[in-house]
Amino acid sequence: MVPLKYKILFIVPLLFISCKPKQVITEKISSRTDSSAILMLEEVITQKEIQIISLQSELNRFEEENFNLKSEISTYEINYDTTQPINPVTQKPPISSEIITKSNSQLEKTLNQYEVLLREASIENTHLTTKNINLQLIVEAMKEENKTLKSKSNPGTQLTSKLLLTGIILGIMICVISIMIIRK
């Protein structure tokens, strides 16, 4: 026949095992914030702002050059050699030199090229501004998401740690009770 204290030692662990639920569900929530993505997007925004500033300065320079080109005047200058006798056919002295500057058609062609460049720069500036705004919105959304993730508590980890602590305490109590029963 088995003594009573050995029966109790055998029955107590069975009671704890039988009280265990049939299915144990563990939940683990891991949250990780990636601040490198935010830094990378802020760097891209800075680069886009630099491009916008550069394009604006080029646009201003083209506008100034465009104004200067509009103010230029075509000239045609003839210098006659008055030391020579007069030509009987033309009734003028012979020509010693001629100076010709750009014609009006060349000026307008240059102006049209600059106007095209100005339009392209304006379109690129608008495009980069839109990209910059979109990137800033993404950065703000990621910052808000990071704040939300940091503020959330992780109930799965807390529950697991509480169950582990309860199990350790119960295990120690069972061991102490078992030792006490065995010594009696």
105-149 residue pLDDT tens:
555 556 667 777 888 888 888 888 888 888 888 888 888 888 887
Say what the pLDDT of residue 156 is: 62
* pLDDT per residue as tens digits for the range 8-65: 777 777 666 665 555 666 666 666 656 777 778 888 888 888 888 888 888 877 766 6
The token duo for 156 is 């799965």
Q: What is the pTM of this model?
A: 0.32
Residue 82 backbone zone (phi > 0: left; psi -120 to 50: alpha; other: beta)? alpha
The token duo for 43 is 């760097």
74 pLDDT above the threshold of 80: no
Of 76, 75, 72, 77, nearest to 108 by C-alpha is 72
Give the DSSP H/E element, type plus range, for residue 84. none
Average pLDDT of the segment spanning 167-171: 89
Q: How confident is the model at residue 68 (pLDDT cuts 50, 70, 90)?
A: very low
